[in-house]
Amino acid sequence: MRSLSFEEVFAMLVAVQLSGADLVRLREWIASIAHPAECIALIEQAAAGRPCPHCGCAHKHRCGQASGLQRFRCLGCRRSHNALTATPLARLRKKECWLPYLQCVLESRTVREAACVVGVDRTTSFRWRHRFVPGAMRERPTTLAAIVEADETYRLESQKGSRNLARGARKRGGVAKRRGINREHDCLLVARDRTGQTLDFHTGRG
């Protein structure tokens, strides 16, 4: 079967009477398209001046390219690396989908929803979620400045993933045995300054 050219597809879109919902879907699809060079440029920009991830030496020279990224060879340990070496995103593929996927994470979409929007398998979406989120959590400011606002919130303590529960299992999160804030709740403190820098702490039980 012959594939359609862009001109033919565009002519078909012009001829079709699109509804409001169709236009929204089309805009979302176009917005999800990102050129691989855009993401690679942002990666290279963020890693500019980064020392060798293996030995910390700042002296290096260019050593070809791989997967669209510039590779460097360290003059200290003689090992090669790129901008993603020793980061949570190392060896991940489909870089052209990373920016739309990050937007899905910021919008708190589920793993399956993000997979449908970006056009990847749900197992890929699950793996990316566990690579992107912990990496973002490690980027914490050291201090907050000027005007700082802080507030606490309480969430029911969770031991999800633990092989040795210190209490009986709860179904789908469950509810506390006692009313109000008690020892079954974790206290989370969040502080943010006027520049948007945020710190959060687990301060103990309620």
Q: Which residues of the chain have pLDDT under 70?
A: 1-6, 10, 29-36, 134-139, 173
pLDDT at 91: 86
Q: In this predicted structure, what is the pLDDT of residue 103? A: 82
User: What pLDDT score was predicted for residue 95?
Assistant: 85
88: in domain: no
Q: Do 79 and 73 contact (CB within 8 A), yes or no? A: yes
Q: Is 88 helix (H, G, I), strand (E, B) or coil?
A: coil
Any domain includes 196: yes
CA distance 99 to 106: 11
Residue type, 9: V
Residue 195 counted as domain residue: yes
Taking alpha carbons only, the member of 83, 100, 91 closest to residue 35 is 100
In a domain, 153, yes or no: yes
Here the tokens at position 163 are 């092989």
pLDDT of residue 122: 92
- pLDDT at 174 (0 to 100): 78
DSSP string, 72-119: EEETTT--EE-TTTTSTTTT---GGGHHHHHHHHHTT--HHHHHHHHT
User: Any idea which residue has 């000027």 for tokens?
Assistant: 146
Task: Classify residue 28: in a domain, yes or no.
Answer: no
> Distance (Å, rounded) from C-alpha 186 to C-alpha 164?
19
Beta carbons within 10 angstroms of residue 22's beta carbon: 12
Classify residue 202: in a domain, yes or no.
Answer: yes
Is residue 201 a part of any domain in this protein? Answer: yes
Count of domains observed in the chain: 1
- Structural domain contains residue 75: no
**pLDDT given at position 54:** 92
Instruction: Give me the pLDDT at residue 88, please.
Output: 82
User: Torsion angle, CA of 51/45/37/80, rounded to 10 degrees?
Assistant: -10
Domain holding 205, by residue range, is 144-158+182-206
pLDDT of residue 162: 77
